[in-house]
């Protein structure tokens, strides 16, 4: 790893630390030329998750977008931000396991609804209604474009 100060090519690792979830390793390094210290981070490279919509279009999965919709559904409910993060993390893990890189958009919503249903009825109903409405709209738009093509 090249030194950010003097650009020397070689450094030694003086400390390695894993993040609590084990996804990131931070390494403290010391330049073998100027002896200045710097930190590098190491991640597992994951291919981006793609969401496949009803009409077959694909867009990159957006973690923040899912979190936002959860936050809206759980507004003023006794659910902590930590719990919401957990739901998102669990959802992603299950989806990656089941579909690898390409996830049907429907599956994300169904999964999240499953978690919310066990957690909080109000949040569940809110999320489900927004989500189903959106699915319907998407299907509807689909039909429209289909009709136009004919």
Q: Applying CB under 5 A, does 31 fall inside the site for Zn ion?
A: yes
Nearer to Zn ion, 1 or 141 (CB): 1
Q: At its nearest, how many Å lie between Zn ion and the CB of residue 2? A: 9
Q: At its nearest, how many Å lie between Zn ion and the CB of residue 43? A: 24
Cα 1 from Cα 8, distance rounded (Å): 9
Nearer to Zn ion, 29 or 126 (CB): 29
Q: Applying CB under 5 A, does 5 fall inside the site for Zn ion?
A: yes
Q: Applying CB under 5 A, does 34 fall inside the site for Zn ion?
A: yes
Tokens of 75: 């507004």
DSSP 77: S
Closest C-alpha among 95, 88, 126, 102 to residue 53: 102
Q: Applying CB under 5 A, does 29 fall inside the site for Zn ion?
A: no
Q: Applying CB under 5 A, does 103 fall inside the site for Zn ion?
A: no
Taking CB under 5 A as the criterion, the residue among 27, 28, 30, 33 binding Zn ion is 33
Q: Applying CB under 5 A, does 3 fall inside the site for Zn ion?
A: yes
- Report whether 82 contacts 126 (CB < 8 A): no
> Between β-strands 50-52 and 102-104, what pairing exists: parallel, antiparallel or unpaired?
parallel
Positive or negative: CA dihedral 106, 109, 111, 117: negative
List of residues contacting Zn ion (CB under 5 A): 3, 5-6, 8, 31, 33-34
């Amino acid at each position: 790893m090249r030194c950010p100060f003097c650009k020397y090519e070689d450094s030694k690792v003086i400390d390695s630390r894993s993040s609590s979830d084990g996804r990131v390793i931070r390494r403290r390094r010391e330049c073998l030329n100027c002896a200045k210290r710097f930190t590098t981070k190491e991640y597992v490279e994951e291919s981006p998750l793609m969401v496949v919509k009803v009409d077959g279009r694909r867009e990159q999965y957006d973690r923040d977008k899912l979190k936002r919709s959860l936050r809206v559904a759980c507004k003023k409910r006794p659910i902590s931000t930590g719990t919401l993060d957990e739901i998102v993390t669990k959802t992603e893990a299950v989806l990656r396991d089941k579909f690898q890189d390409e996830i049907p958009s429907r599956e994300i919503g169904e999964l999240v609804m499953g978690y919310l249903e066990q957690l909080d009825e109000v949040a569940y109903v809110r999320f489900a209604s927004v989500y189903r409405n959106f699915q319907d709209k998407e299907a509807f738009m689909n039909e429209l474009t289909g009709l136009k093509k004919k």
